[in-house]
Amino acid sequence: MKRAALLLILALLAPSAAAGPWRAEEGNVSGWQLMSPAERVEHQRRLRGFTRYEDCRAYQEAHHAEMAARAGAAGVVLTPRAQTACDQLRARGRLK
């Protein structure tokens, strides 16, 4: 009986553990190629630190504006993302 309960618990936890924490990477950060490695780390740290969706979105809008300005100066066209990091974090239950 204990083994069955343990297996059930592990089965319930597996999907969330497999997903892991949200990770900033080229495919999900607007302007990734325009950021330094230190900026990328800081960006991920800040996004993971938010608890409220509204705060996350306010930061993200400012970040997107800065990346758009950098892209314009560099002659780069940024590809819009289908889903924002804040939306991804909210879907995972990390933001309220």
Tens digits of per-residue pLDDT, 37-51?
Answer: 999 999 999 998 999
In whole angstroms, how far apart are CA 26 and each of 18, 31, 34, 85? 20, 8, 10, 12
Of residues 20 and 24, more confidence is placed in 24
Q: What is the pTM of this model?
A: 0.72
For 57-76, how does the pLDDT look when each residue is reduced to its tens digit (9 = 90+)? 999 999 999 999 999 999 99
Q: 18-29 b/e with 16+ CB inside 10 Å = b?
A: eeeebebeeeeb
